[in-house]
Amino acid sequence: AKTLRLVLGDQLSRNLSSLKDAEPGRDVIVMAELSDEATYVRHHVKKIAFVLSAMRHFAADLAGDGFEVDYRRLDEDDVSITSFTDALEAAVARHTPERIIVTEAAEWRVLSMQEAWKDRFDIPVEIRPDDRFIATHAEFARWAEDRKSLRMEFFYRRMRTRTGYLMDDGEPAGGQWNYDAENRAPPKEGLSFPDRPDWSVDETTRAVLDLVASRFDDHFGDLEPFAYPVTRRQATHYLNWFVDHALADFGTFQDAMVQGEALMFHSHLSALINIGLLDPRECCDRAEAAWREGRVPLNAAEGFIRQIIGWREFIRGVYWLHMPAYADENALDARRDLPDWFWTGETHMNCLRQAITETRQNAYAHHIQRLMVIGNFALLAGLDPKQVQEWFLIVYHDAYEWVEMPNVVGMALYADGGLFASKPYASSGAYINRMSDYCGNCRYAVTKKNGPKACPFNYLYWNFLIDNRERLSGNQRMGMMFGTLDRMGDEKRRAVREDSERFLAAIGDA
Ligand code: FAD
Ligand code: SF4
């Protein structure tokens, strides 16, 4: 039967469940660049360009294999098509198919649209599970059932056993499940980082860059230089490059930050995996093979595989288990507006200036910049979780709601009251100073605890504990910190309060 198969912008995989049984000559594959999707939040221009270019290349590959691809470009005249539903309706009218097949959307908002198609069209609409993810929704829900709190580590062990990654005779390779303790080295003096592969911009990408420049010139971010993979071939090349040149040091320096080094030893693969150009399993296969061949140490391969089969799958599980209420969580009652410098990077706090400037340039920041610099600041300053979510969704090229939201709400802001984080990731300037070389270039002094010259993270940290004393008092892992707080003299407490009030009142000029 003639089938319409709608492929979404983050489903660019030939093994997609909705494409597995597709037949050239019989089926029509529908893809659409939509203004709703490009603007429902004002995405970073590099992110829009990446998605559109990857979509166009993917469609061209399909057409090259003989498929009829009904592809709608954003620059086409028909302004009445703004949503997936519009695009599908138009395609059904054009092709009169006998059925529609889609792969479930990764986001709640879009899956709700897909569910509504079942009533809207008078032909069958089949929604297939997205088997690019390793754990199914049901599997995660079963695992989470009856657990008071969700701990990634236990889920991860289950995923290791289930997938067999880094397992020897049913036991974790090397005798331990997790080598995170070896993955926290601060940056060494003179550490050097490998050069990344580069791609020249082809005609397709050039057309997209021109379109994005003219259409979204008021969105955040630098569009060029643009040097990210946009095809399956480039993406696999980038994965191989990572395994050969960066993975060996990825583990050890996973938490380190170096001024002017946006990528360090990080894989920079998240956007390629999330959009479908790479399969998470193939990334893990390569990393495990490199370890088995003696090319990378175990802490590197384990650290990388844990992020993918552990954190990535776990985060998705949390999202689907708790949506839609999860979007509105605000357990710490944080209400402050985002200061403008979140968009400009113009703050005197060097760590934030670096992280935000790199984000503006690259639509990327690595995990510790996101969590321990930007997220930590947002937590300590009590920034409104909704605004913080929207910021993270806009600025990163790998940001889709299913992965951005739990990372922001649960991990960075503790706004879900500790659903999966055992305590808030709050820390003073000492952590940033230990893990980076940022503080030496900062107007503020990381060694000073109080006064206008002191590192703001230092007093905001104690201010955060004072403000949340009641809310967090039941948390055993906070006991030591609250013990220290309770022993703090009145004068010191007063100084913390005064510094914090002064800082927060003028947060826009920080
Ligand atoms: P690497 O450090 O090389 O890690 C390898 C891979 O593991 C990544 O490519 C990614 O696929 C996966 N991974 C690692 N950590 C996580 C995690 N916590 N959640 C999900 N996957 C993970 N990741 C996104 O893909 N999209 C987001 O919108 C996003 N928002 C975040 C917001 C905050 C506040 C925080 C703290 C983290 C966020 N992350 C997000 C997770 C993580 O920071 C990025 O996946 C990572 O920095 C991407 O860079 P990389 O590919 O170089 O990762
Ligand atoms: Fe950031 Fe404080 Fe260090 Fe400045 S001194 S870079 S604000 S941690």
pLDDT tens digits, one per residue of 65-87: 999 999 999 988 677 888 999 99
* DSSP-derived secondary structure letter, 402: H
What's the chain's length in residues? Answer: 510
CA dist., res. 50 & res. 221, Å (int) = 13
Residue 121 three-state SS: coil
CA angle 413, 431, 248 (to 5 degrees): 95
**Ligand 2: residue whose CA is nearest its atom 2:** 455
Name the residue of 258, 356, 428, 442 to mutate for ligand 2: max ligand atoms within 8 A of Cβ: 442
CB 265 within 8 A of CB 299: no
Q: Which ligand is nearest to the CA of 359?
A: 1
Alpha helices in 416-455 (DSSP H): 429-435
**Ligand 2: residue whose CA is nearest its atom 8:** 429
Cα of 270 to ligand 1 centre, how many Å?
A: 6
Check if 274 has its Cβ closer than 6 Å to any atom of ligand 1: yes
CA dist., res. 273 & res. 268, Å (int) = 10
Name the residue of 258, 431, 450, 457 to mutate for ligand 2: max ligand atoms within 8 A of Cβ: 457
3-state secondary structure 247-286: HHHHCCCCCCEECCECCCCCCCCHHHHHHCCCCHHHHHHH
Check if 375 has its Cβ closer than 6 Å to any atom of ligand 1: yes
Check if 403 has its Cβ closer than 6 Å to any atom of ligand 1: yes
pLDDT of amino acid 38 = 81
CA dist., res. 453 & res. 432, Å (int) = 17
CB 420 within 8 A of CB 156: no
Check if 457 has its Cβ closer than 6 Å to any atom of ligand 2: yes
pLDDT tens digits, one per residue of 199-249: 889 999 999 999 999 999 999 999 999 999 999 999 999 999 999 999 999
* Backbone torsions φ then ψ of 480, nearest 5 degrees: -65, -40
Check if 269 has its Cβ closer than 6 Å to any atom of ligand 1: yes
CB 429 within 8 A of CB 343: no
What domains can be seen in the chain, in order of their start residue?
3-128 (3.40.50.620), 137-194+246-322 (1.25.40.80), 341-509 (1.10.579.10)
Check if 273 has its Cβ closer than 6 Å to any atom of ligand 1: yes
CA dist., res. 447 & res. 439, Å (int) = 10
The DSSP annotation for 340-375 comes to THHHH---S-HHHHHHHHHHHHHS---HHIIIIIII
Cα of 3 to ligand 1 centre, how many Å?
A: 36
The one-letter code for the residue type at 64 is: G
Check if 411 has its Cβ closer than 6 Å to any atom of ligand 1: yes
As beta bridge partners, residue 71 has: 31
CB 209 within 8 A of CB 48: no
Check if 304 has its Cβ closer than 6 Å to any atom of ligand 1: yes
CB 317 within 8 A of CB 135: yes
Choose among 394, 359, 392, 375: nearest CA to 262: 359
Q: Which ligand is nearest to the CA of 412?
A: 1
Check if 10 has its Cβ closer than 6 Å to any atom of ligand 1: no
pLDDT of amino acid 314 = 98
CA atoms 238, 48, 398, 262: torsion sign: positive
pLDDT of amino acid 414 = 98
Give the distance between the most distant pair of CA atoms in the chain.
79
pLDDT of amino acid 7 = 98
pLDDT in tens, the chain (510 residues): 899 999 999 999 999 999 999 999 999 999 999 988 888 899 999 999 999 999 999 999 999 999 999 999 998 867 788 899 999 999 999 999 999 999 999 999 999 999 999 999 999 999 999 999 999 999 999 999 988 889 999 999 999 999 999 999 999 999 999 998 888 899 988 889 999 998 889 999 999 999 999 999 999 999 999 999 999 999 999 999 999 999 999 999 999 999 999 999 999 999 999 999 999 999 999 999 999 999 999 999 999 999 999 999 999 999 999 999 999 999 999 999 999 999 999 999 999 999 999 999 999 999 999 999 999 999 999 999 999 999 999 999 999 999 999 999 999 999 999 999 999 999 999 999 999 999 999 999 999 999 999 999 999 999 999 999 999 988 999 999 999 999 999 999 999 999 999 999 999 999
**Ligand 2: residue whose CA is nearest its atom 1:** 351
